[in-house]
């Protein structure tokens, strides 16, 4: 559905926004500053929206807003997520109706709902609030999976990894592709985080018990095989170029 730029230095907020934007069907492009958009980003395709996660103080947030306004011409719709105490200072910089200021949501569920409301005004169709594969129901706004009368709460990275694997059932997905999709960084070849998350998914989602096999493919990545009837597969979540069938 297009790219959405995410700007700001606050890592936790930025990461939560990145995950949300991806689940909403857009490509998140994280920029540590608006100046990075000129040197580190491909400007051949315009951003559909800008999301500013704000800074630790009003002066820094105001500087970020000014830099961003100066960098993008024409400016796409811009949403600023700010601490309440910064509202008065930053609101003075508003120049047109494409700028929106809201308080930083206090939970991932709230953030997902807010961003879903804003991106629903952009061109294109956004994914549904839930996706299903076999007997599994994934609730996109809460990192929750329901199956067999159970409700399992996953960590955000575990949930995103599960979505990637289920969306590409029957394919071997390369480790570096999974790292890029879930953690937005290249695999360093040493971290065991991916393997740990895979083990958690096998255990928490009772995959073997429910007829699913999640296995490592030596020298390649991971592959999930299981039931058919993939209701969620009608909407592509992410299709890397180097998936090995």
pLDDT tens for each residue of 127-168: 899 999 989 999 999 999 999 999 999 999 999 999 999 999
Tell whether the model's pLDDT for residue 236 goes beyond 70. no
**Better pLDDT: 1 or 227:** 1
Residue 56: the pLDDT is 81
Mean pLDDT of the chain: 83
Spatial distance between the Cα atoms of 217 and 31, rounded to a whole number of angstroms? 34
Give the 3-state secondary structure of the chain.
CCEEEEECCCHHHHHHHHHHHHHCCCEEEEECCCCHHHHCCCCCCCEEEEEECCCCCHHHHHHHHHHHHHHCCCCCCEEEEECHHHHHHHHCCCCCCCEEEEECCCCHHHHHHHHHHHHCCCCCCCCCCEEEECCEEEECCCCEEEECCEEEECCHHHHHHHHHHHHCCCCEEEHHHHHHHHHCCCCCCCCCHHHHHHHHHHHHCCCCCCCCEEEEECCCEEEEECCCCCHHHHCCCCCCCCCEC
Tell whether the model's pLDDT for residue 31 goes beyond 70. yes
User: Please, what is the Cα angle at 182 between 81 and 128, to 5 degrees?
Assistant: 70
Residue 68: the pLDDT is 86
Residue 91: the pLDDT is 79
Residue 6: the pLDDT is 94
Residue 241: the pLDDT is 35
Residue 167: the pLDDT is 93
| 50-90 tens-digit pLDDT | 999 988 888 888 888 888 888 887 888 999 998 888 888 88
Do the beta carbons of residue 99 and residue 125 sit within 8 Å?
A: no
Q: Which residue has the tokens 């083990």?
A: 199
Residue 124: the pLDDT is 81
Residue 189: the pLDDT is 75
Tell whether the model's pLDDT for residue 211 goes beyond 80. yes
Spatial distance between the Cα atoms of 239 and 99, rounded to a whole number of angstroms? 32
Residue 116: the pLDDT is 95
């Amino acid at each position: 559905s297009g790219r959405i730029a995410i700007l700001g230095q606050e890592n936790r907020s930025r990461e939560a926004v990145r995950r949300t934007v991806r689940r909403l069907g857009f490509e998140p492009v994280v920029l540590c500053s608006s100046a990075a958009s000129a040197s580190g980003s491909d400007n051949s395709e315009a951003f559909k929206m800008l999301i500013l996660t704000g800074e630790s103080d009003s002066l820094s947030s105001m500087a970020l807003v000014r830099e961003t306004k100066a960098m993008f011409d024409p400016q796409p719709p811009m949403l600023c997520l700010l601490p309440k105490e910064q509202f008065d200072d930053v609101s003075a910089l508003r120049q047109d109706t494409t700028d929106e200021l809201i308080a930083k949501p206090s939970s991932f569920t709230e953030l997902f709902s807010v961003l879903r409301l804003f991106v629903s005004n952009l061109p294109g169709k956004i994914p549904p609030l839930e996706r299903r594969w076999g007997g599994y129901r994934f609730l996109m706004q809460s990192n929750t999976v329901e199956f067999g009368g159970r409700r399992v709460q996953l960590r955000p990275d575990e949930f995103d990894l599960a979505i990637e694997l289920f969306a590409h059932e029957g394919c071997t997905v390369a480790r570096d592709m999974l790292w890029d999709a879930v953690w937005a960084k290249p695999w360093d070849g040493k971290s065991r985080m991916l393997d740990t998350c895979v083990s958690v998914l096998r255990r928490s989602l009772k995959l073997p018990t429910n007829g699913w096999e999640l296995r490592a493919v030596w020298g390649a990545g991971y592959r999930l095989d299981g039931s058919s009837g993939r209701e969620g597969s009608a909407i592509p979540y992410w299709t890397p170029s180097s998936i090995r069938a």
